Chains A and B, each alone.
Chain A
Amino acid sequence: MLKWIRPLLKNAFAWLLSIVVLIPFAVMLVNSLKTREESYSMTLKLPAVLQFQNYLTVIEQGNVIPSFFNSFMYASLSVVLVVLTCSMAAFVISRNDTRLNRFAYFFIIMGIVLPVNYVALMKVMQVTMLNNTRLGISLLYTAMNIPISLFITCSFIGSIPKDLDEAAIIDGCGPWSLFFRIIFPLLKPVAVTVGVLCFMASWNDFMMPLYYLNNSAKWPMSLTVYSFFGASMQAQRQWNLVCADIVLTSIPVIVVYLLGQKYIVSGITAGAVKG
């Protein structure tokens, strides 16, 4: 009796958990294809006719395309900077174990849990002329992602044999050519991991542009979808368009997740687990 009931219960429970997670997504998708009147009751009842033009309306009204390119630019630039600065730093920290390097490592790693003082950061942004600039936002995302990325890169870089360094030095490599011609190509797996995690964190961030971008032309997707929601709540309640905008804004990051799933999981479990 107990032999067949346990697996059954386990499977039922797993499905229950998955359904709890999936329902909100399903509600968004179904309601994004309704007419405005139909979406006044946001149940899972299917629409009479699938209203695909909702998506076109949102793209026209919701400033989706420019903000997509903004988000893409901020995230990509910060990925490039994070991968470059962190792999260089991790290389030196893990190969040359001096007291100073170890201090620098912990000094940066602290940043994983430290809160940001957003008010004083505005002062720093003004002094460095970065306030309300695209470069400023990218640099903020770079700073935000450096601690965790350095941690992940350091946990990986030790697996590259030191003999390579020695061979390269005997062949006449200096530090730059040793790093860029020998080590960096071998860091590809960890660079992709760090890159994907950093891309998603930057893409999803909401606070930095809220504080330091007052020009809606520079807004990333997170802010435009928020303001679109607010605007359509005040006017006639267009739940169908709101849902369509939410679906559209989610698509890029879901695509990144499906493509980079393996890297994301290896990134968040790096260092957390022995072996």
Chain B
Amino acid sequence: MNRLVSIVLHGARIALGVTFFYAGWIKAQEPIDFARAVANYQVLPYSWNYLVAATLPYVELLAGTLLVLNRRVRPAALVIGVLNFVFILALISVMARGLDIDCGCFAPSGQGHTTALEALLRDLGLMVLVVLAWLSRERRSVASSS
């Protein structure tokens, strides 16, 4: 049973890491397209969209890599958790304003349209993975200290 829990927790850590690594990687290739995707949210002043597009993919890449490598798991999970929380707020604001936009979460140039609701549900699922990834470190530290 313990083994099963451990597999689930570490599976969640790796899945979360791979997801954010992929999301960061694909957006880092097309920063201008991603800036437009950010601009679609109509939350930030024009130039700030470019600042976010320039930096966010690399934060995702770094945090995702650390999770996959099982290094600095909790700080990385915290970074991803906070980012994910901000994404959720942005998507709720999009839905509240009735904007019909692509979330720009992965491929910014819009291959495949993901609506705000689909993206919101996916982000809520990722939040569960964040908690599991956080706990994967707890179990290890408990096990090693006992």
**B is bound to A:** no
Interface residues of B, Cβ cutoff 8 Å to A: none
